Every structure is written in structure tokens, then in C-alpha cells.
Amino acid sequence: FPSHDKGLKRMRVKELLSPLNLEVLNLDICNQASVEKLFTSSKPEVVIHLAAQAGVRLGVIESRKYVESNLVGFSNILISTIENKIPKFLYASSSSVYGDKAAIPYQESESNLHPNSFYGSTKLANELLTPTLVNSSTTVARGLRFLQSTDLGVGLIWHILE
């Protein structure tokens, strides 16, 4: 999240992830070779993909950031997960997929999804692409629709994977 405060990022890693002995890497997920090198060298048992160009307010000129991170980067991570036969893939989606046509309170089963933002559309695209790729693989994928990126609860994710 380049737009987020770097000090806050470092603090979250130190306070939330370091105690769990989780390694946090800075990696350009849009670079398929880098992603594949990481997967080959680390041989993960589970992939938790939380990286994204967040927010709903970028203008048209900056919309490429959403495409690069949320579509290209997401696809690189998902494809590498499948190709390396990693059994579990957990990724962050967003409540932005609901738009303003969905019934409130939101339901996971809602089919009337019409995002109001380019960001929300990329997150919905992730939800649509994922099952088509994992369908013929040994990978099980789950997406979590967070209300905001700040809602990401490491404890919740850890509990889901146990």
C-alpha cells in the first residue's frame, strides 16, 4: 500500500506479525519472475495474499495502479500458488464489491453485485477469476470481504487457517 504511512506499516509488522514469527517481504507482485522465485525458494504451505492497491478514490489517470496490483499482481500470486501445488490460498477481497444495489446488511450470498468504483470492480474480478483457476487444481481458495483494509485481523486469519 504505497499510499499508507510507512511508519504505520512497520509498526503493524513489529506488533502484529513479528510475534507470530511471520516473515514479511517487500516484493513487486507484478513481477512474475520474482513471485515464482519466492515460491520456489520458500515452498510455502499456505499463501495469505493481502497486497492490493487499496482505496476507492484514485482518478482515471491512476487507475493503472489498480490493474497492476489488483489484477496482474493477484493473478501472479494465484497462478504461482496453483502451479506450486500449495493447498491453501486465502486472499483479501472488499465490501466494495457490493456497490449500492446490494441489500443491507450485506450477505456473502448476494448476487446483485455492482461495484461503484474501479477498485471494487478489480476485487470482484478476483472473486470471479479465482474459482475458474483453482477448479482443476489441488488448491482450496477462500476470499474474505473486509469492510476496510484496516479491518484485517491477523488473529482472525490465523484462526481460519488452523
- How many other CB atoms are there within 10 angstroms of residue 127's CB atom? 16
Beta bridge partners of 146: 94
Single pTM value for the model: 0.80
46 has pLDDT over 60: yes
CA dihedral sign, ordered 49, 50, 55, 60: negative
User: What is the mean predicted confidence (pLDDT) over 94-104?
Assistant: 79
pLDDT at 3: 53
State the catalytic residues. Answer: 119
From start to end of the chain, where are the E strands?
46-49, 88-94, 140-146
Give me the percent of the chain exceeding a pLDDT of 70: 85
pLDDT band of residue 57 (cuts 50, 70, 90) is confident
pLDDT band of residue 109 (cuts 50, 70, 90) is confident
Which of 38-51 are b and which e, b meaning 16 or more Cβ less than 10 Å from the residue's Cβ? Answer: bbeeeeeeebbbeb
